[in-house]
Structure 1
Amino acid sequence: MLRLGEAPLSPNIIRLHQWLEDESSFSLIMEYPEPSKTLEDYILFSSLISEQQARFFMLQVVRVVKHCNEHGVYHGDICSGNILVNLHSLELKFIDFRCTRLITSEGFNSSEYQGSDTYTPYEVIAQSAFHVEAANVWALGVLLFEIMHGYLPLESFDQIQLGYIKMDRTLSTACSDLIYCCLSRNAAHRLTLEQLEEHRWMNGLD
C-alpha cells in the first residue's frame, strides 16, 4: 500500500490516509467511498450487465493492474469481492491488499498463492510455480466471465483442472474469445496484459 501511495496515484485504488502502529498491532485509516458496494454484490443484485458496461469495468481493472505492475506490486487477490463500485459513477476501487507482494522475475512458488480459491490459476494447482502476469490475466478472465454471467466459470479445484467453460451464447464472439484467451490452462498461451488491453473487444470492436 505504501508503494501504491507514491505518485502518480491511481484513482482506482483505495486511498490509505494514515498508518498507526504500536508494539502489538497496527491500524490503517482508509478512504471510504460512498455510495458503493462490492462488484460481487453489484453483479449479484443487478439486472443483466451489458457488454458496454462490462468493458467500462474491465478497462478500469486493466488500468489498476498496469499501475500495480509499474510500482512492482502484485495484488495477489483480484476478485469481484475486492473491488468496490461507486453506484453513481460506476468508478471502481481496488481494496484488500493483504495478499500483496513485490514482483520478482523468478515468480512465486505455488504454495505461496493466497488469492481466492475460485480465481486460482490452473498452474497454481498443477505446477510448482506461477508468474504474476499470467496469474493476473487468468484472474481478469474469471472476472469478465463473472460480470457477464453472474456466476463463476470454475467453482472448484477439480473444475479448474478439468472443467469445461460454458459460455453464454448471447455474448459477442469477441467477448467470448477474450475470456477463452485469458483462461487458457497453458499459461504460455494466455494473452499478455498488453494483448488483453489491445484485444478487439476491449476496444469496442465486437
Structure 2
Amino acid sequence: MSNHPHICQLLDAFKTDTRYYLVFEHAEGGDLFEAIKELGKLTEIDASLVIAQTASALSYLHARKIVHRDIKPENLLLSRRWHVRLCDFGLACTVLGPLFRVCGTPTYCAPEVLKECGYGYPADIWSLGVLLHVLLLGYAPFRSGDRTRLFRLITQGRIHFELPEWRRISTYARDLVSRMMNTNVDKRPRAIEILAHPWILQSKEADD
C-alpha cells in the first residue's frame, strides 16, 4: 500500500514488551481536519483535488480487495497544501464477502453499515461523499447529538440541496455528492469512476 502517492508510507515497525509501534512518514501540513477548522470550507478546485487524490487511493485499495472503513478528514494527512495521504488502517480489512461489523466514525458511516445488512467497497464511497459535503459547506450532511436520531437521518439519506448554501455550489459538484451518497449501493460510482466525473475533470483543467 505504501507504493501509492496518496497513501501514507509506513517507514518502520517495532514492538516493546507491552506495545507495538508503527512509524509513518512525517506530514508537515498536519491533517485535513485541522485545515477545515481553520478555513471553514474549501474552494471547489481545492476540494476536487482532495477528493480526486482520495478516490485514487481508494481505487488502489479496492483493486486489492481492501476496504478502509474510516474515511474522514482526520485520516487524511497533508504533506503539502492539498496534497493528501490516506492513513490509519486500523479498521481496514480484506473483502472476501459481505461485511457486517458496525465500525467507523458515525457521521461518516454508510446506511448499509448501520443497517447491518452487509456492505463492501461502496461504504468507502459514501464516506467520501460525506467528506465532499464537509469540504464544500463546512459541515456534515447529517448531524445530531442523539446517536439514534443521527443513525435515522443517515439511513434516510436525504441531502438538503434546497438550502441556500448550495446555491453557490456548481451543478457538477452537487451531482457528484448525490451520486456518492446514493442510499442504493449499486448506483454509487466506483472510486475509479469518480476520477472521470465531469466535476473532477473540469476542476483539474482549471487548476492546470
Aligned identity (percent) is: 24
Q: Which amino acid aligns with 2:193?
A: Q
Name the structure with the higher helix share: 2
Task: State the structure with bigger RCO (CA 8 A, min sep 6), 1 or 2.
Answer: 2
The 3 A distance-change label for structure 1 pair 203 and 123 is same
Map residues 53-202 of structure 1 onto 2, 5 A cutoff: 53-86=46-79, 88-104=80-96, 106-109=97-100, 112-132=101-121, 134-155=122-143, 156-162=150-156, 164-167=158-161, 168-202=166-200
Query: What's the secondary structure of 1:10's corresponding residue?
Result: coil
Runs of 5+ in structure 1 lacking a partner?
A: none
How far does the alpha carbon of each residue in 1:96-141 deviate from its partner, in whole angstroms, 9 at most, with x for none? 111111122x1201xx132111111011123421122x11111111
For residue 91 of structure 1, report the CA deviation from its aligned partner.
0.9
Q: Which amino acid aligns with 2:195?
A: E
For residue 164 of structure 1, report the CA deviation from its aligned partner.
3.0
Aligned to 2:146: none
The 3 A distance-change label for structure 1 pair 130 and 32 is same
How far does the alpha carbon of each residue in 1:129-181 deviate from its partner, in whole angstroms, 9 at most, with x for none? 1122x111111111111100110011221210235312312110110011011
Residue pair 1:76, 1:113 contacting (<8 A) in 2 also = no
Q: Distance between the aligned counterparts of 1:180 and 1:125, measured in 2?
A: 19
Query: What's the secondary structure of 1:159's corresponding residue?
Result: helix
Q: TM-score, normalised by structure 2?
A: 0.85
Q: What number of residue pairs does the alignment pair up?
A: 194
For residue 85 of structure 1, report the CA deviation from its aligned partner.
2.0
Aligned to 1:11: 5
- RMSD after superposition: 1.9
Q: Distance between the aligned counterparts of 1:128 and 1:30, measured in 2?
A: 35
For residue 92 of structure 1, report the CA deviation from its aligned partner.
0.4
Q: Distance between the aligned counterparts of 1:30 and 1:195, measured in 2?
A: 29
Which range moves more in the overlay, 120-129 or 135-144?
120-129
Q: Distance between the aligned counterparts of 1:193 and 1:33, measured in 2?
A: 24
Q: Which amino acid aligns with 2:184?
A: N
Runs of 5+ in structure 2 lacking a partner?
A: 144-149
Q: TM-score, normalised by structure 1?
A: 0.86
